[in-house]
Structure 1
Amino acid sequence: MAQPTEVSDFVKERLAGIRGGLRLYEDLQPGETAFVVIDMQNAFVAEGGVIEVPASREIIPAINRMAAKCRQLGVPVIWIRSHHPKGGADWRHFFDHFVAPERREAAAAALSDDAPSSRFHPDMDIGDEDYIVFKNRYSCLIPGSSSLERLLRSLGCDTLLLAGTKTNICVESTARDAMMLDFRVVVLSDATAALSDEEHQASLNVLVQEFADILVTDEVLEELRANAGGADR
Structure 2
Amino acid sequence: MSEMNYPRERTALLFVDPYNDFLAEGGKIFPRVKAVAEAVNLLDNLRRINKAVRAAGIQVAIVPHRRWEPGDYENWDHPNPTQLAIMKRHSFARGEWGGEWHPDFAPQPGDIVAHEHWSQSGFANTDLDMILKQKGITHVIIVGLLANTCIESTARFAMELGYHVTLVRDATAAFSAELMHAAHELNGPTFAHAIRTTAEVVAALPAPQPVSTPQLN
Same-fold call, TM > 0.5? yes
What is the aligned partner in structure 1 of residue 160 from structure 2? 180
What is the aligned partner in structure 2 of residue 202 from structure 1? 182
Change (3 A) 1:193 1:220: same
Secondary structure, aligned partner of 1:67 = helix
**Residues 68-98 of structure 1: per-residue CA shift (max 9 Å, x gap):** 2212211001122212452352576599562
User: Is 1:232 aligned with 2:208?
Assistant: yes
User: Is 1:161 aligned with 2:141?
Assistant: yes
Is the Cα contact below 8 Å between 1:41 and 1:121 reproduced in 2?
A: yes
Is the Cα contact below 8 Å between 2:18 and 2:106 reproduced in 1?
A: no
Change (3 A) 1:125 1:119: closer
Structure with more of its chain in helix, by fraction: 1
Which of 62, 68, 74 is residue 79 of structure 1 equivalent to? Answer: 62
Change (3 A) 1:97 1:114: same
What is the aligned partner in structure 1 of residue 212 from structure 2? none
Residue identity opposite 2:136 in structure 1: G
What is the aligned partner in structure 2 of residue 46 from structure 1? 24
What is the aligned partner in structure 1 of residue 6 from structure 2? 28
Q: How does 1:82-231 map to 2 (within 5 A)?
A: 82-87=65-70, 89=72, 93=76, 98=81, 105-107=87-89, 109-124=90-105, 126-133=107-114, 134-142=116-124, 144=125, 146-205=126-185, 206-225=187-206, 231=207
Shift of residue 110, structure 1, vs aligned partner: 2.5
Residue identity opposite 1:38 in structure 2: V
Residue identity opposite 2:44 in structure 1: P
Is the Cα contact below 8 Å between 1:44 and 1:56 reproduced in 2?
A: no
Tell me, in whole angstroms, the C-alpha distance in 1 between the residues paired with 2:182 and 2:134: 33
What is the aligned partner in structure 1 of residue 214 from structure 2? none
After superposing the two structures, state which structure 1 stretch, 55-64 or 32-41, moved more.
55-64
What is the aligned partner in structure 2 of residue 70 from structure 1? 53
Change (3 A) 1:177 1:99: closer
The gaps in structure 2 that reach 5 residues or longer are 210-217
Is the Cα contact below 8 Å between 1:56 and 1:164 reproduced in 2?
A: no
Change (3 A) 1:150 1:24: same
Shift of residue 51, structure 1, vs aligned partner: 2.5
**Residues 151-195 of structure 1: per-residue CA shift (max 9 Å, x gap):** 111111011000011100000000111101111100011111111
CA RMSD of aligned residues (A): 2.6
Is the Cα contact below 8 Å between 1:159 and 1:183 reproduced in 2?
A: yes
Instruction: Provide the identity percentage.
Output: 25
